[in-house]
Amino acid sequence: MAGTVYKPPRLLRNPHLQSVLSSLPMRRANGLRDLQRTGAITREHIIDAGDGVRLLGHHSAVPGRDPRGVVLLLHGWEGSSESGYMRHTAARLLGEGFDVFRLNFRDHGDTHHLNEGLFHSCRLAEVVQATKWVAERFPSPAFLAAGYSLGGNFALRLALAAPEAGIPLRHAAAVCPAVDPSAVMRSLESGSPFYHWYFMKKWRGSLRKKRALFPSHHDFDDAVLAQDMRGLTHWLVKRHTDKQDVEDYFAGYAVAGGRLAGLQIPVSVLAAADDPVIPIDTLHALQLPAHSTLEVAEHGGHCGFIEGANLRGFSERWVTAKLVAAVSAM
């Protein structure tokens, strides 16, 4: 484990301020401007992810340039390919010569209509298939991945699954990954009520969209939606997964403890000691192989790492630096 060079101004050392600033509409708008300044052309793609599943993503490339690699970017729970951190990271990567593919998970972004079944975090197979499609559709000297929060969890699981799936993944970077979902739930239940409220507001809105689009398949009433996060997760597990209970579901996508010890593909992990969502002890407990690294910043909040008034972040620079180094070492 190592520290980082991230040293925010004193006024930006509050973890809640960091977490809120990261999700501001202004940060998304700034990210879009940075993307546009790269001169990249962005095209939308709907991917056949197997078993009738369709996922939507955006491929960005600078015309007339041979990329040094292609990077798959994965967003967090109830985020999207258009989240501020996704746009800013894409712009940084494009500036360093990469092409970028920003993938939406099922039911994220404006994609609820593409699939009848609900999103849940154990749906790794469809993300693996989509990743394989991206790697084959956009061949390049190097294929890499990066993700934030739940997207960081998926990026780490992709690194585990890639060799058997035939995905030529070279390196994966994860920012504030949810490595122990059970601990994350406990953190949301015992910490500041704001984060529970924020995620539940977005999740309930997503489920309402799904119900309106597929009323015969999703006939749950508002009493279901009125439950707290643990109650609604229990309902999801019982109705829409093959897991026995909530803890079995969490174990189904956890990468905590020694689950990453056998990684064949190197990964880099960035965490914040003051993250109000992801308990830092779950990151310290990771057993990573020698080719992989964990860096912990004293400050940063949850996927924040904001550096100043322009709302650009250290995390997008960190992801880019890690992936540049991985390609340079090839």
Q: Is there a catalytic annotation at residue 275?
A: yes
Q: What DSSP element (H or E) covers 196?
A: helix 193-213
Residue with tokens 């700034």: 30
Question: Per the residue annotation, which of 34, 107, 274, 275 is the catalytic one?
Answer: 275
Rg (CA), the chain: 19
How far out from the chain centre does Cα 319 lie?
Answer: 12
Residue with tokens 């997503």: 206
State the Cα angle at 84 between 78 and 86, rounded to 5°. 80
Report the DSSP beta bridge partners of residue 172: 145, 267
Residue with tokens 């798959």: 72
- What is residue 12's DSSP assignment? G
Question: Per the residue annotation, which of 140, 292, 302, 315 is the catalytic one?
Answer: 302
Q: Is there a catalytic annotation at residue 302?
A: yes
Question: Per the residue annotation, which of 121, 149, 187, 268 is the catalytic one?
Answer: 149
Q: What are 252's two structure tokens?
A: 């189904």
Q: Residue 62 burial (CB < 10 Å; 0-12/13-18/19+)?
A: middle
Report the catalytic residues.
Answer: 149, 275, 302
